[in-house]
Amino acid sequence: MKVDTKDTVQRDEVHGDEVQTECCAPLTDAPIDDSVAAELARTYAALADPVRLKMLSLIAASGEVCSCDFVEPLAKSQPTVSHHTKILAEAGLIDGDKRGRWVHWRVRSGREDFVRRVLGAGSD
């Protein structure tokens, strides 16, 4: 049985009038394709680490956080902090603003809702 995202997707209507949405109503109309899956996986991979989630929440709670202020609350070395900020930035979740010797991190413009939802996913 091959599932094709193109035109093989059958909705309930094609089976006639018996649209039973009681137990098996689909959550989506079609399975996602490979490129979308790869892109989403990359985003979630950036969120799949407790250190990065704490980073994100620190940024989200303060609006803006300097790299140097991550080391102590996260109990991680400076290179490790730098490594994680890079991953979050490459995933398009945060942006760094270098002012003088310091880099200030903030949630990327347009991603605030996503970040908010991501950090509160336990309660919905």
Partner DNA sequence: CCAATAGATCGACAGATGTCAATATGAAAG
Partner DNA sequence: CTTTCATATTGACATCTGTCGATCTATTGG
Binding site for DNA (CB under 7 A): 3, 45, 48-49, 51, 66-68, 76-87, 96, 98, 100-103
Q: Quick one: which of 17, 18, 34, 79 contacts a copy of itself (CB under 8 A)?
A: 34
Q: Smaller CB distance to DNA: residue 17 or 34? A: 34
User: Residue 76 binds what, of DNA, a copy of itself, none (CB under 5 to 8 Å, by partner type)?
Assistant: DNA
Quote the tokens at residue 35. Answer: 């490129």
* Residues sharing a CB contact under 8 Å with residue 30, sequence separation 6 or more, in sequence order: 5, 9
User: Residue 31 binds what, of DNA, a copy of itself, none (CB under 5 to 8 Å, by partner type)?
Assistant: a copy of itself
Site string for a copy of itself, 43-82 (x = CB under 8 A): xxx-xxxxxxxx--xx-xxxxx-x-xx--xx---------
C-alpha to C-alpha distance for 15 and 23, rounded to whole angstroms:
16
Question: Is there a contact between 104 and 65 (Cβ–Cβ < 8 Å)?
Answer: yes
Question: Is there a contact between 105 and 59 (Cβ–Cβ < 8 Å)?
Answer: yes
Tell me whether residue 79 is exposed, middle or buried, using C-beta atoms within 10 angstroms of its C-beta: 0 to 12, 13 to 18, 19 or more: exposed
User: Residue 114 binds what, of a copy of itself, DNA, none (CB under 5 to 8 Å, by partner type)?
Assistant: a copy of itself
Query: Is residue 26 near a copy of itself by the rule CB under 8 A?
Result: yes
